[in-house]
Every structure is written in C-alpha cells, then in structure tokens.
Structure 1
Amino acid sequence: MSQNTPITLATWRTSDVIATAFRTVPDFIPTARIAAAPAPSDLPEGPTADFGAFDVALPPDRHFDLPALLAATATDAFLVLQRGRIVHETYGNGLDADTPHILMSMSKAVTGLVGSVLAEAGTLDLDAPVASLVPGIADTSWRGATLRHLLDMRAGAALDAATLAAYAAATGWEALPAGAPPADLARFFTGMASAPGTHGGAFKYDSANTDLLGLALERATGRSYAQFVSERLWQPMGAAHDAFVTVDSRGAARCSGGVCATARDVARLGQLVLDGGRRGARQLVPARVIDDLWTGGDAGAWRAGQFGASFGAMGLGTTRYRNGWYIVDGPPRQLFAMGIHGQNLFLVPDHGLVIVKLSSLVTPIDPPAIMLAHRAVTEVARLLLP
C-alpha cells in the first residue's frame, strides 16, 4: 500500500499502515479533545540508564538486548522514569515525544481512575445498579450489574457472535457495509436482546463493560468523557499535550480503548499513581483511590477467570484486577495497564519505576510479545536498583 493511500476504517490495523495509523487516529476516526494543562508539570531528565547488560531470554536459546527486544515487539515508544526522572526514552516507527498514540485498552485504566475519583467525590455510587444511570439496559444482560461489576470485569453479560459484531459496529472503529443502519453505543446497549447475566463471579473481560460505564459516567456528571477526564485528571496532573478519545456517531466516547496520548503524558499519569495520587504538595487523586488500586480486586475471581491460566504461565505470581488496572504481587510488585497491539504502562514501586511501552504490533494479542514486555520490566528493574 502506498504511503499516500488514505488510511480508512477498513485498513487502519493492517501491516502496511498500522504504525502510521496509531499516531494519526483523529485523521480517520472522530475524536473529542481532552485538554492539556495550561502549565505542564516538570518531567526532568537523567541520569541516563545504562542498559548495556540488558538481556532477556526466551526458550530454547533466544536472547534479546534492549534494541532487539524493542524491534521484535514493534515498539513505537519506550520511556522509563525512575524517581520521577526520564532515564531512558526511545521512539520508533515515526512516533515522537509530541505525538499522541492510541492506548487501546490502557484507556480502561484512565476510565477506572477518573471513575473512582468521581465516586470518592460523591458524584456516583459504585455499588449502584448501572440501570439507575442508563435505564435502557434494564432489560438486557446487564440487568442487575453495578458500576463496580463493570469496573472490575465481573459483569456476566452474555454476548454472542452477532452481539459482538453489533458492538464493534457501534464503536465507530469498523467500516460499515453499504446500506447498514446507523450504529452507536447507546443504541447498541439499549437495543441489545435480553439474555440472562449473572454478575459478581469470575473475571470476564469484555470491553463493552467499560463503554457502558462511560455512558453512566457521562450521565452522572452531565459532562462528556473528554471534559471530565480533562478537568479531573489530565489538567490537574500537568499533561503537556492534549489527548484525544475516539467517539461514536453520536459523540459518545469509546473509553474502553480510544484514548490517544503522548508517551510522556502516560508517564505523568503513571508517576501520579506511583506517588500516591500526589503532584508535589497537592493530593490530586484521593489516597484511598490509589490504595484501593494496590489492595483491591479479588484474587479468586482472577484465578477462576479467563486470563488466570495464561498469566500464571508467564510466572507473574498472584494477580488481581481493579478499576481497569492489573496488580501483580511480584516479585517485582507491579501495577500495570495494557492494551492490544502492544500497549503497556508498568509501575514498579520498589524500584521507583514507571515504564511506558507503546507499540504497533499487527497481531492484536501476541503472547510472545506480551512475554517479552513483562520480562523487559523485570530486567529493567534488575538493572536499575532502588
């Protein structure tokens, strides 16, 4: 495909254009602006980390230094903060420090964090049924589900193949066939056929949960997702660049995967969480919200859920899921967010580390690349002592 060929909904995740598409999302999907801070927070540099001894091994006998690992995982940005300072920063595939990159399901961590902030402020009750804010879902599979069930992926809504296709069409990320009826998220949720759903059980990953949560948050606040993320998180934390979120045909945010942000602003978000919700002397995110990220989530629900076996095979140790974030009890102890096609944010508190890895892997879920990313974190932590 020629570099001059326009990127479309039909082509944006294909191998010829994916790296370009992931940094130019507003060119082919409608987006809403998440305004940056008038005065960005400082992100000082140095001293530069020495990764000359970096070595990640995969069986039977493959070894990767850092450049080889980044190349093997189609890395567009790799940024390491230690104790709030940039100690390593690498860009590739046309990305730079000033250009937003789509975060895919890392967006859930943004949504979960700001949703928890709104709950702490008394704007909403996380134990309330979703139908109290989105009445149209009262006769769907989400009947009886609470906002907490959505946040922790413990809603038991039943989505068959046809329903998943309808959801994909509603997000605005797919090219619709000629003559197809209009599609949007609100229409999808309220028009979904009723099927029994049991909530509060094992972890069951479903991006539709987070997009339904987004509708509920917008109705609770009377503000758009982009507005309240900017007001409650992006501007207070000192983001240097506007972020964006993709929106459907009626302007509803795809808050499960559509946030686009620079690697440095993602690092600022990670540092805010690592610092217990504080920016300098100001407590921007209530300490209880951050504490709940580290201590919340149900390890039993995770083990019984759909990712339990695969994460266990990577040797990550005890894992939980809370508010769009993954908690690993280690070693090393970690909090992380992740998205398809290789998007990652890792926090390693015992080493003072924030690691951002943005990628353009063609395969949405690439187990060897996921393994390499996690082993890279362990190796960076080994080399950068507390």
Structure 2
Amino acid sequence: MKDTSTPPLAQAVQHLPRGEDFLLWPPCLQSYGYRIVDQLFATRTIARGPAAQPMPRAAEVQTGYELDGQTRDVADFMDRNNVAGLLAIHRGHIVLERYGLGFRPEERWSTMSTVKSMTAMLVGAALHDGAIGSLDDSVTRYVPTLAGCAYQDVTVRHLLTMSSGIDWREDYTDKQSHVNRYSKSLADKVPGGVLALLRACPRGNPAGAVWQYNTGDTYLLGAVLSAATGGTLADYMSQRIWQPCGMEFDGFYTLESDGGQEIGGSRAGMSLRDIGRFAQFVLDDGVVDGRRILPEGWVEQSATPAFEIPQDQHAAHRRALDLRAYGYSWWLRGDGAMMAMGHSGQRIFIDRAADLAVVQLAAYPEPRYVSANEPDRDAELNALIGALRAATRT
C-alpha cells in the first residue's frame, strides 16, 4: 500500500562533525570541533571547587621573536600559527594572555595528548596516598582482565614511560591504525571497546626495553588509577588537583562509553587559564598552600630521562622543540625544560629553572591539508619561548 502520510516538517538541526574523524578534520572543523568535544563524545566532569583561586597578574611582557631573519610580534604569532589560546606565567603571575579563533576564556579546548602528562601526575598522587604500592606493580594487579595478553608483563612504570613493548601503530593519517580504531571506538561509545583493542595487540618488544609512543598505554594508566583509588579518574583529578589548585572552571575527561572509563591520554577539555594553573602546580613541585599532593621529588623524577628519543622518531616538531628524551609521560628538552605535547599544536612548556610556563592551544592543520606555504609552527613557538625567557630574565 502506498504511504500517503505527510512527511514531517523540516526542522533546524545543528550538524556536528563526525567524532570518528577527530584526528582527520580539515582546519575549518578543527577550530570548531576542538571546543565542543563534550558534544561529540561521552564525558565526565572534573568538578571545580566552591571558589576559584585568582591568578595574580604582573606587567605584560613586551616581546617579539626572530626566526629566519624576520622579526615578528605576538599578534603575528597568533595569526600565522592558528593559535586559539596563548598564556605565559612567570613567577606565579600571568604576564601574557591571548585568545584567537573565536575561543573565549570560559570555554574548554581539547587538550589532546597534553592530558597524558596530567594523568601521569596523578600516579604520583596515588603513590603519595598509598593507593598504588609501587611503580613496579604489574598492571594486571589493578586491571586483571588483561591477564594472559601482551600486557601480562607490563608494569605501571612501563606505562608511564611508554615502554610497554606493545605493537601499537600511532599513525594519525591511517584510518585503520590502532589510534584511529581507538578513536572510532570512542565515537561509537563501545563499552569495553578500548580494552578489547588493547587485549588484541601483539607484543613487539620486551616490556621496558624500547620507547614507543602509545596512546593506549595512557588509557590503561587511567584505568589503573581508577582501580587503585576505587573511584573515577575525573573525581580523583578533582579531589587531588582541580579543587586544591582553585581551578576556575569545570574540566572534563572523555569516556570510552556512556558512564565508562575515562580516556586518560587524550581529548579532555579544559580552559586556558586552568591549564596554566596546572602548569603552576608542577612549577610548585606539587605543593598547594603548604600541602604536599605529589611525593617529594616526583616532578624531578618525571623530568629525568627514562628513554632517549630514537633518531628515526625525531619528527619535525620534535626537532623544532629540541625534544630529546621522555620521562614520566613528559617530553624533555635539551635545555632541561619539560613539555606536554598534544596533537595539532597543543603544548605546555615548563621551565622550572626560569619559573616560567607557556601554554599554547592551537589548530595545526592535519597532514593532508598542509600547504607548501605553511610556516614551521613549532619553530615559531620555540622562538617565542626563547623571547619570553629573555624578556622575563632578571
């Protein structure tokens, strides 16, 4: 029988970009999608406390930077490098704060993998609390469902230092790589999907022998923390760091599925100033208002090379930023500074000797959208960091 019913009237519907293509978006979607991650994936709130801790301000630093014979200012830097947020903190005071691409102070931008370094700091808190007994504990002590797979011999320390030895492909341009299959599982909100992917990964090297970047390792590190602390990763971050540090806005972790495990290694959402507060927490050695949250020496251990970066893995951005080694989920520069690194230009620079932190949120184009006229964005960031160091040195 012919359907003679009247079709529904056309309605205004907001179109959202496909979450499974998160690592493949064109630039026009990046600058929109990175601020609405919580509309594309399941998330859990990192709750702020009852009152924000004001961030003191000092006189704005006046500086430009030089690169390839050209002198440019901060406005040039913002425009040339697709920067959404730029923050510099010196001696606990904001000395530079800029917003671009329509991004606003109260909005949350995708952290990408910079959250790996944040999650790793929580391991120190869990050690300090006695929830984790030792970095040399087996992962299966906390996540027994991984017994019998390639993660059987992996320890918490191996996860922290990206040395699990698991054969994982972190290729953002290949939709069939492990990292993009992981991304699709998150977009589809598959309960247990990421653990199933990890269980199926073969062993590539003995645990602890070789460094290989692996987003799956930090997902598992988050699962270890949840099991060890007996709660959610978001709640533990809130209790140990977000509330004590007086964060201004709620943050969030992305989840593997509705109500599921947090993704400890990518695509969390945080405001620019709250990422700056986290950087200050590291500069303060994990002490807030006289209360020690991280074990004494934990930041120093995190900044101690566990592995040199292999020469064949010195990608252009790593060379531009002089990234030479890897510690406890922190990238380590030749000048002794620490960096948290995230996909598409998310960067947290921490120089403890200079008491300086620089946070950048950006939308670097994905490889297939890069033109021949692109600047070397990380070389420009490195030049700006050098200029900020010089301008704040007294």
- Report if TM-score (shorter chain) is over 0.5: yes
Aligned-partner residue type, residue 336 of structure 1: M
Asked whether the equivalents of residues 350 and 356 of structure 2 are also in contact (C-alpha less than 8 Å), the reply is yes
Letter in 2 for 1:96: R
| Rg comparison, structure with higher value | 2
- Once the two structures are TM-superposed, the CA of residue 81 in structure 1 deviates from its matched residue by 1.1
Looking at structure 1, the residues matched to 317 and 364 of structure 2 have their Cα atoms a distance apart, in angstroms, of 20
Q: C-alpha distance in 2, partners of 1:173/1:360?
A: 23
User: Secondary structure of the equivalent of 2:27?
Assistant: coil
2:325 counterpart residue number: 320
- Per the alignment, do residues 199 and 76 of structure 1 end up closer, same or farther by CA in structure 2, a change over 3 Å counting? same
**Correspondence list, 1:190-205, <5 A:** 190=199, 192=200, 194-195=202-203, 197-205=205-213
Tell me the CA shift for residue 312 of structure 1: 7.4
Aligned amino acid, residue 121 of structure 1: D
- 1:376 to 2:381 alignment: no
Matches within 5 A, 1:1-386: 5-10=15-20, 12=22, 13-51=25-63, 54-58=64-68, 61-124=69-132, 125-159=134-168, 165=177, 168-171=180-183, 184-190=193-199, 192=200, 194-195=202-203, 197-249=205-257, 251-294=260-303, 296-298=304-306, 301-304=307-310, 307-308=313-314, 313-314=319-320, 316=322, 319-330=324-335, 333-363=336-366, 368-386=376-394
How far the C-alpha of 1:91 sits from its partner, in A, is: 0.1
1:115 is matched by which residue type in structure 2? V
Could you tell me how far apart the structure 2 residues matched to 1:48 and 1:371 are?
Answer: 23
Conserved 8 A contact 2:142-2:228:
yes
Which whole-Å CA distance do the structure 2 matches of 1:362 and 1:315 have between them? 18
Structure 2 runs not aligned, ≥5 long: 1-12
SS of residue in 1 equivalent to 2:344: coil
- Give the letter aligned to residue 65 of structure 1: D
SS at match of 1:186: helix
Give, in angstroms, the shift of residue 138 of structure 1: 2.6
Whole-Å separation in 2 of the counterparts to 1:171 and 1:381? 37
Q: Residue type matched to 1:14 in 2?
A: P
Question: What's the CA shift for 1:303?
Answer: 4.0
Any conservation in 2 of the 1:69–1:372 contact (CA below 8 Å)?
A: yes
Amino acid at match of 1:27: Q
Aligned CA distance change for structure 1 residues 22 and 150 (closer, same or farther; 3 Å): same
Q: For 1:194 and 1:11, how far apart are their aligned partners in 2? A: 25
Range moving further from structure 2, 167-176 or 128-137:
167-176
Residues 160-169 or 22-31, more deviating? 160-169
Secondary structure at 1:142's aligned position in 2? Answer: helix
Cα offsets for 1:246-292 (capped at 9, x unmatched):
11125111111122111101111111111222223332333221222
Paired-residue identity, %: 23
Are 2:167 and 2:204, in contact at CA under 8 Å, matched by a contact in 1? yes
